[in-house]
A and B are shown apart, each in its own frame.
Chain A
Amino acid sequence: MMTRDLLALGPMLITAGGAVVLLLALAVCRSHAFASAWSVLVLAAALAAIPMTWPGAPASGDLLNLLAIDSWALAFWGIIFGSALVVCLLGFEYFRPLAVQAEEFYVLVLLSATGAAVLAAADHFATVFLGLELLSVSLFALAAYRRDQAISIEAGIKYLVLAGTSSALLLFGLALLYFHTASLRLSGLAGPLLAGHPDTIALYAGIALVLVAMGFKLGLAPMHVWTPDVYQGSPAPVSALVGSVSKAGAMAFMVRLAGVTLTGTPGVRNGVFYGLLVLAIASMFTGNLLALRQPNIKRLLAYSSIAHMGYCLLAVLPMAAGAALDRQAVFYYMLAHAVSILGAFGCVCAASENGREAQHVEDYRGLAWRRPVLAGVFSLMLLSLAGIPLTAGFLGKFYVLASGVRNALWLPAVCLVINSGIGLFYYLRVLGTLYQREEAESPDQFATSTAPSALLQPSPQLLLTHLTLAALVVLLIYFGLMPALASLPM
């Protein structure tokens, strides 16, 4: 039993151990190259360990009171570790020209990935809290990582205060749930276990508080106000981390929570269902409407990710039936979103020069004629966020819509359609800026700009970033054409 547990925990042990080893190594010798290479290795090893563990160890043993390392958790670990790997790759060339000590960045990324992984597998109130705190604490250190910039510190403090508040709410909620069910297991909330008890206000309040705390992590409206500030202030690789790793961990737990509560007593069921419905629709509209005229690309991506989490909730709503199709829809949506948002922030990293981030939409005007390949990559990422075919985002949206239609959730499905239209407007606005031709352009300039040497503009100091982006594009198209991963048994 011991070995099986260890094997199941393998991927997470690797990242947690990797973080500790790195921390110790840094005490002896500081090396940016070593730190990044080590963390990339650790995350790659964790990723490689996932197929070996597959399909996880369903309920048994002592360990598994705390963690449910099932195929659901393992699938999300794939997203989490993969995204963290990309963030490490992007971080190397982002931090290299900066005058900050970059080594701890990798420790924190490893820790936050571990935290998100714990959250994704949490089946016990203790692990929920542990995972969430590990994730949050690493993230606010990361958000404030550029101490040379006031806005970064501001982002860190904002995140600290709000994440602290939401942790407090979560803790209070968990306490209330314990009071009601006398069980620290998440499954204690399930229907049969609640059947004997009458619903109490403590139960409702407890569930509501936990939902609010998770909604905060996911950036669902109306708990979304921190998102734009944190996305904007954080260094671009950290924004990518917030958009992918943290969202994936929280969404994985959200689905577990919804799966349990939506099969609860009628009162609980209705409360959670309508609560999530309101959160979903509010997030779609809030995110998209606020993004419409946003001139800052990082804030724009933040608002768009608020809307995306709203879309994704459409597939969480029917979780009561517990059909594999709905879980697969959520998983694929989060996978597609992670790839696109990592790619989008990767483009922000690649477009930045000498530590100055290209944050403003105006910075990207005519990018297609200066750096056509980068602009092409960015276009693909934006189109994926908009859900246009050939990209992963389309299939993600397709699965979510399919889940909504299958369960006859017409209201949120139609809201999704309307919001896709609204969302398209601002994606196209950015896309149009990329391809805007400079009016004063003469044919000579054109001739030079398509010359082979200028076409690729291989700025050697960004080689790794470019390779990472290339890999993301391959994944984006592959996931957009061949959704084999969406049929994993979950």
Chain B
Amino acid sequence: MIPEALILVPLLTGLACLLAKASPRAVRTLAMQGTLATLALAVLLWLVHMKWLAIDPLTARSLLELNLPWIPALGVSLHLAPNGLSVLMVLLTALLGVLSVAVSWRGITQRVGFFHFNLLLILAGILGVFQAMDLFAFYFFWEVMLVPMYFLIDVWGHENRHYAAIKFFLFTQVSGLLMLLAILALYFLHGRSSGAYTFDVARLVDTPLPSPVAFGLLLGFFAAFAVKLPAVPLHTWLADAHTEAPTAGSVILAGLMLKTGAYGMLQFLWLLFPLAALDFAPAARVLGVVGILYGAMLSFAQFDLKRLVAYTSVSHMGFVLLGIFTPNELAWQGAVMQMLCHGLGTGGLFILVGYLSDRLHTRDMRAMGGLWASCPRMGGAAMFLAMAALGLPGMGSFVGEILILIGVFHVSPVLAIVASGGLVLATVYALWMMQQVFHGREKVRAADLRRTELGVLAVLIVLLIYLGVYPKNVFDTFNSTIKHSRTFNSLMQQSQIEDP
């Protein structure tokens, strides 16, 4: 009941935005109402999932799951069944959806209806990705969100938007097709061994796979997820897409689209190919550490403020990759926490950069300086988000990073030590950005944040602190997934055996 509503509400609102012959203001209001309704549904989903609402189990089950036959001849079903991890991601998606509509309120003046149509379609696609438990449906949603994102970048983006939009689309589409090949191979292997042809994840789990085959399939999935994440050799689309996209587009890209890659790894890779993933994990961890350090260094080297923030994503998502491929509970909890905080924190930074470049009409840091004097509120918010980016204790990102590092230390102390260098580099780029833009000689003046703008950032800041001081809610929600996961338990045993 709730899963399909979560997809239908933004979808239908989006269509209404496109077709309504209404004033831009009415369209914006409509989109806002749609995203708020989605957020309410997401919170409801959370409450039901955590059994915090007293509902009898049978109703709760029907509220939480949808399983419709779609293409019966192929064993495709529209199976939506969010688990703990999905619920967290759905909450993040719904929240950032509301904020993206809010930040586009003034920034987008042209083709308002088409803009919000694309925005809401992306949200619908992402919500589908986070809830699908049928690999065909998963791939379907995975691809469906690319087209509106392409339009968002290509139509409302900045100077180099056509290049960025095509690059983004090509990277994600081709890697997605590799995943499709792997999905199909898994489908036929399972069908041949069991006689039942199905794309349902829960049943594909049992497929007996010889280890080289499992490894090959894992690589197919990993290619798609690693491009989205992005893992280092495949990250080059990110800086262009994030930089050229309009603010709402950057928020969605950084906050949500990158999470679909991490989500896929955490949800499906370990579940479908546990042994192959264990073999692959050391290599993935190294990729993660390389991403942490390289992303941070690239970030420091930028003059374009938006590009700087974009590269911090590479660094932060490196932590996520590192955590996901460290098979113990600490690292996984940390990875999920880091995903949420990166969504909120980097989303916030992109919003801030958007506000700034709307005022100054430039994103070049060399042209900025001493802005604190004219806009102290913006400076304060920026300071806060920069601290979140560098992982200051008291904020969610600290919890995430420290848990990942502790988890990794159990498995590979050397990597943990090297990765913690990323924290130092993060401090360097975050403070460098603050100094360049807000401190020093006053080069430019700008109007300070309006009350609504401050409100948008305040939501993010409050949540970051909340996650930092009381992360238990997140842990409990995610725990509801992993404690019941057979794969997880068997992995725990295996990694303990391997541990000296």
Contact = CB atoms under 8 A, between A and B. Distances in A.
B435 interface: no
Given A405-B181, A405-B184, A435 B166 contact: no
A424 B169 contact: yes
Interface in B96-137: 109-111, 113-114
B140 interface: yes
Contact of B173 (A421, A429, A446, A482): A421
A438 B174 CA distance: 31
Contact of B71 (A443, A450, A483): A483
Contact of A432 (B109, B139, B162, B185): B162
B265 interface: no
B170 A421 contact: yes
B155 A429 contact: no
Given A388-B147, A435-B155, A417 B166 contact: no
A389 interface: yes
Contacts of A441: 110
B140 A389 contact: yes
Contacts of A390: 144
A455 interface: yes
B166 A420 contact: no
Nearest to A420: B177
A487 B71 CA distance: 9
Contacts of A483: 71, 73
A198 interface: no
A428 B150 contact: yes
Interface in A434-490: 435, 437, 441, 443, 446, 450, 452, 455, 482-483, 486-487
B143 interface: yes
B180 interface: yes
A398 B180 contact: yes
Number of chain A interface residues as a range: 35 or more
Interface in A414-432: 414, 416-418, 420-421, 424-425, 428-429, 431-432
B174 A486 contact: no
A418 B173 CA distance: 10
A406 B111 CA distance: 45
Contacts of A398: 180
B165 A428 contact: yes
B174 A401 contact: no
Contacts of B147: 383, 388
Contacts of A450: 21, 111, 113
Given A405-B188, A429-B166, A450-B113, A487 B73 contact: yes
Contact of B165 (A394, A416, A432, A452): A432
A413 B185 CA distance: 11
B170 A437 contact: no
A401 B73 CA distance: 16
Contacts of B185: 405
Nearest to A390: B144
A420 B155 contact: no
Nearest to A449: B111
B221 interface: no
A402 B150 CA distance: 27
A284 to B, nearest CB: 13
B181 A413 contact: yes
A420 B143 contact: no
Interface in B171-189: 173-174, 177-178, 180-181, 184-185, 187-188
B186 to A, nearest CB: 9
A474 to B, nearest CB: 15
A425 B184 CA distance: 25
Given A425-B166, A428-B169, A450-B113, A401 B155 contact: no
Contacts, number: 82
A383 B147 CA distance: 9
B155 A437 contact: yes
A401 B154 contact: no
Given A383-B147, A389-B144, A435-B151, A417 B165 contact: no
Contacts of A424: 169-170, 173-174
A418 B174 contact: yes
B144 A421 contact: no
B180 A389 contact: no
Nearest to B121: A390
Given A406-B188, A429-B166, A401 B109 contact: no
A261 to B, nearest CB: 25
A455 B154 contact: no
B146 interface: yes
Contacts of B184: 401-402, 405-406
A424 B8 CA distance: 28
Nearest to A380: B147
Contact of B143 (A388, A417, A428, A431): A388
A417 B177 contact: yes
Interface string A385-418: 0001110001000100110011000000110111
B228 to A, nearest CB: 16
Contacts of A452: 21
B174 to A, nearest CB: 4
Given A401-B181, A437-B155, A432 B174 contact: no
B143 A389 contact: yes
A366 B309 CA distance: 32
A389 B151 CA distance: 16
Contacts of A421: 170, 173-174, 177
B188 to A, nearest CB: 5
Contacts of B21: 450, 452, 455
Contacts of A394: 143
Nearest to A488: B73
Given A389-B140, A402-B184, A406-B188, A437 B165 contact: no
Nearest to A403: B184
A416 B111 CA distance: 36
Contact of B154 (A372, A414, A435, A443): A435
Contacts of A487: 73
A417 B174 contact: yes
Interface string B373-387: 000000000000000
A75 to B, nearest CB: 15
Nearest to B21: A452
Given A388-B146, A428-B165, A446-B110, A417 B188 contact: no
Nearest to B178: A417
Interface string B455-466: 000000000000
B138 to A, nearest CB: 11
A26 to B, nearest CB: 44
Contacts of A372: 114
Nearest to A369: B111
A420 B176 CA distance: 11
B41 to A, nearest CB: 23
Nearest to A453: B21
B250 to A, nearest CB: 19
Contacts of B165: 428, 432
Given A401-B184, A421-B174, A486 B143 contact: no
Nearest to A399: B74
Contacts of B180: 398, 401
A103 B111 CA distance: 43
B73 A486 contact: yes
Interface in B426-484: none
Contacts of A402: 74, 184, 187-188
30 contacts: A372-B114, A389-B140, A389-B144, A390-B144, A398-B180, A401-B184, A405-B181, A405-B184, A405-B188, A406-B188, A416-B177, A417-B177, A417-B181, A418-B174, A420-B173, A420-B174, A420-B177, A421-B170, A421-B174, A424-B173, A428-B150, A432-B165, A435-B151, A437-B110, A441-B110, A443-B110, A482-B71, A483-B73, A486-B73, A487-B73
Given A372-B114, A417-B181, A446-B109, 12 more contacts: A388-B173, A389-B140, A405-B184, A405-B185, A414-B181, A420-B177, A421-B170, A421-B174, A428-B170, A432-B162, A435-B154, A450-B111
The 6 closest A-B pairs by CB, nearest first: A421-B174, A487-B73, A405-B184, A417-B177, A389-B143, A452-B21
